[in-house]
Amino acid sequence: MIKLFNLDLHISVIADVKDVLTRLYGTKVQIDNWTLSGHSWVFNKEPDYVSVVNQHTWIHLNKQMVQEFVNTYREKLESYDGFIVTHTPVFCRLYETFGKPIIMVNSCRYDQPYCLTNLTNIEELQELNLCLRRLSSKGLLIPISNNIGDKNYFELGTGIRSFHIPSLCMYTDIVHNPEYASHRKPMISCGNGNCIPSFIDADERPSKYEWSDIMQRKALICIPYEVSTMSLFEHYSSGVPIFMPSKDFLKDLILSKKIEFGSFNTKKYWQGLIPKNILETTNLDWWLERCDYYDKENMPYIHLFNSWEDLKEQLENFSLTVDFYTLKKVHLEQREKWILGEWKKIMEHTFESLRE
> pLDDT truncated to tens, each residue of the chain (356 aa)?
999 999 998 888 999 999 999 999 999 999 999 988 655 455 566 777 899 999 889 989 999 999 999 999 999 999 999 999 998 999 999 999 999 999 999 998 899 888 776 555 778 888 999 999 999 999 999 999 999 999 999 999 999 999 999 999 999 888 887 776 666 788 888 777 788 988 898 877 777 667 777 777 889 999 999 999 999 999 999 999 999 999 999 999 999 999 988 876 665 555 556 677 777 888 899 999 999 999 999 999 999 999 999 999 999 988 766 667 788 889 999 999 999 999 999 999 999 999 87
Strand pairing category for 102-106 and 82-85: parallel
Euclidean distance between CA atoms 314 and 15, whole angstroms: 34
The distance of Cα 161 from the centroid of its chain, to the nearest Å, equals 18
Answer yes or no: are the C-beta atoms of 90 and 61 closer than 8 Å: yes
pTM across the whole model: 0.91
* Residue 40 β-bridge partners: none
Examine residue 113 and say whether the peptide bond preceding it is cis (omega within 30 degrees of 0). yes
- 230-238 and 11-25 helices cross at what angle (nearest 10)? 40
- Residue 203: name the closest of 332, 213, 211, 212 by CA: 213
User: Side-chain half-sphere of 264: how many Cα atoms within 13 Å?
Assistant: 17
Q: Residue 145 in contact with residue 228, Cβ under 8 Å?
A: no
- The CATH 3.40.50 portion of the chain extends over 2-168+337-354
The answer to whether the CB of 351 falls within 8 A of the CB of 84 is no
Q: Alpha-carbon distance 336 to 169, whole Å?
A: 10
If phi > 0 it is left, if psi is from -120 to 50 it is alpha, else beta; for residue 94 that is: alpha
pLDDT value of position 267: 58
> What is the 8-class DSSP label of residue 49?
P
Across the strands, what pairs with 190? Answer: 222
Contact 61, 92 (CB under 8 A): no
* Per-residue confidence (pLDDT) for residue 119, from 0 to 100: 52
Residues 6+ apart with CB under 8 A from 53: 7, 61, 65, 69, 91, 94
May I ask the CATH class of domain 2-168+337-354?
A: alpha beta
Q: Report CA torsion sign: 272, 275, 280, 286.
A: negative
Distances (CA, A) of 27 to 3, 24, 284: 10, 9, 44
Neighbour tally for 335: CB within 10 Å:
19
DSSP state of 94: G
Contact 72, 51 (CB under 8 A): yes
Nearest to 196 by CA among 278, 311, 355: 311
Q: What's the Cα-to-Cα distance from 344 to each of 72, 160, 197, 241, rounded to whole Å?
A: 33, 21, 45, 29
- How far is the first Cα of the chain from the last one, in angstroms, to the nearest whole number? 14
Helical H segments across 222-321, by residue range: 230-238, 247-255, 266-269, 284-288, 308-317
The number of residues making up the chain comes to 356
| Secondary structure of residue 15 in the 3-state scheme | helix
Q: Which amino acid is at 345?
A: K
Which pLDDT score, from 0 to 100, does residue 265 have?
65
Q: Looking at this protein, which amino acid is placed at residue 27?
A: T
Among the listed residues 249, 191, 199, the one whose alpha carbon sits nearest the alpha carbon of residue 221: 191
